[in-house]
């Protein structure tokens, strides 16, 4: 079953929010491993793990197998390969060799059979960690914040993905583009949605993630929005996204 990278080199577009809540929604249906590849470790704390014993850095550095480094979370069927601040060191230590870019992909091979979905929360910017995420993933979800500059930077990201396809990971493809932080009260959000759908067509998920305060609050309780506010618009949206992801994946 697939490894899905949540990728956008821009920060603050909803990558971590999507990785955490999509993982939690998928975990109600399937076995899921969430991999936190951002030194800020927001996905880890977002599912309640602030002091993990082992982290993804141990895997990348060859100090532990992924199986040894995985933590359970409070959510059934959701495991975490946590991040910690020292992961920023890995980004600096890794050289630009092909082997360095394949460390995560190789590290995940051993745990792959244990999960139906592996979801990677990638850091912003294009560095060694993001390239490791792109090399490990089969499929990508690209969150776009529904704002005027949504498409800014997307061309260079598509080029990066093309480059990775040509070198590290020929099977990599985009599962879908996800509009996040949609504010239905504004004309701007509607215009941006129309524009993105015109530009990317079928690639854009039907599901749109609304801007809601519950999604912003949940991480401070170490909970996904599904636990924190299960009937909120944000929870309903991420449930719908999980259904759409399962459907797209099963259609191949
Ligand atoms: P990224 O991982 O791309 O940097 P985050 O998921 O951390 O982005 O989101 C950036 C900020 O926006 C966070 O404070 C988060 O809580 C908030 N946020 C993300 N998605 C939403 C949303 N749909 N509604 C409201 N706030 C959101
Ligand atoms: Mg993030």
Task: Quick: pLDDT tens for 181-194.
Answer: 999 999 999 999 99
Ligand 2 center from residue 56 Cα (angstroms): 15
**pTM of the entire structure?**
0.98
Among 10, 17, 125, 224, residue to substitute to test ligand 1 (most atoms within 8 Å of Cβ): 17
Q: How far apart are CA 194 and CA 208, in angstroms?
A: 12
In sequence order, the 6+-apart residues with CB closer than 8 A to the CB of 8 are 15, 122, 124, 142, 143, 144, 153, 157
Give the strands of the sheet with 71-72, arranged side by side: 71-72, 78-81, 32-36, 117-121, 3-6, 139-145, 173-182, 204-210
**pLDDT tens per residue across span 56-105:** 999 999 999 999 999 999 999 999 999 999 999 888 888 889 999 999 99
Candidate from 84-88, 102-106, 113-117, 241-245 with smallest mean pLDDT? 84-88
DSSP-derived 3-state class of residue 73:
coil
210 DSSP assignment: E
State the first-to-last Cα distance of the chain, in angstroms, to the nearest integer. 11
- Could you give the C-alpha distances from 140 to 47, 135, 156, 193, 249, in angstroms and in order? 21, 11, 15, 20, 11
In short, whether 226's Cβ falls inside 6 Å of ligand 1 is: no
In short, whether 122's Cβ falls inside 6 Å of ligand 1 is: no
Q: How far apart are CA 7 and CA 74, in angstroms?
A: 25
CATH of domain 3-250: 3.40.50.300
Neighbours of 81 (CB within 10 A): 28
Ligand 2 center from residue 20 Cα (angstroms): 10
Beta carbons of 170 and 4 less than 8 angstroms apart: no
48 DSSP assignment: T
Give the number of whichever ligand sits closest to the CA of residue 20: 1
> Where exactly are the structural domains of the chain?
3-250
Nearest CA to ligand 1 atom 5: 14
Report the pLDDT value the prediction gives residue 43, as an integer from 0 to 100. Answer: 98
Its sign, for the CA torsion 244, 26, 173, 145, is positive
């Amino acid at each position: 079953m697939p490894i899905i990278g949540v990728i956008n080199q821009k920060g603050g577009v909803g990558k971590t929010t999507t990785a955490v809540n999509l993982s939690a929604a998928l975990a109600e249906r399937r076995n899921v491993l969430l991999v936190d590849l951002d030194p800020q470790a927001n996905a880890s704390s977002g599912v309640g793990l602030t002091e993990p014993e082992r982290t993804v850095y141990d895997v990348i550095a060859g100090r532990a197998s992924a199986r040894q480094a995985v933590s359970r979370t409070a959510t059934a069927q959701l495991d975490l390969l946590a991040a910690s601040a020292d992961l920023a060191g890995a980004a600096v230590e890794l050289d630009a060799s092909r082997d360095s870019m394949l460390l995560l992909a190789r590290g995940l091979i051993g745990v792959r059979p244990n999960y139906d979905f592996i979801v990677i929360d990638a850091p912003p910017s294009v560095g060694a960690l993001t390239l490791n995420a792109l090399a490990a993933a089969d499929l990508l979800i690209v969150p776009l914040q529904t704002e005027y500059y949504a498409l800014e930077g997307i061309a260079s990201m598509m080029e990066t993905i093309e480059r990775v396809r040509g070198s590290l990971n020929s099977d990599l493809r985009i599962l879908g583009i996800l509009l996040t932080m949609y504010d239905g009260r504004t004309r701007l959000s509607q215009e941006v949605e129309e524009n993105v759908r015109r530009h990317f067509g079928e690639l854009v998920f039907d599901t749109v993630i609304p801007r809601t305060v519950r999604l912003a609050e949940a991480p401070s309780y170490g909970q996904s929005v599904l636990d924190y506010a299960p009937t909120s618009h944000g929870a309903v949206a991420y449930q719908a996204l999980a259904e759409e992801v399962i459907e797209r994946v099963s259609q191949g």
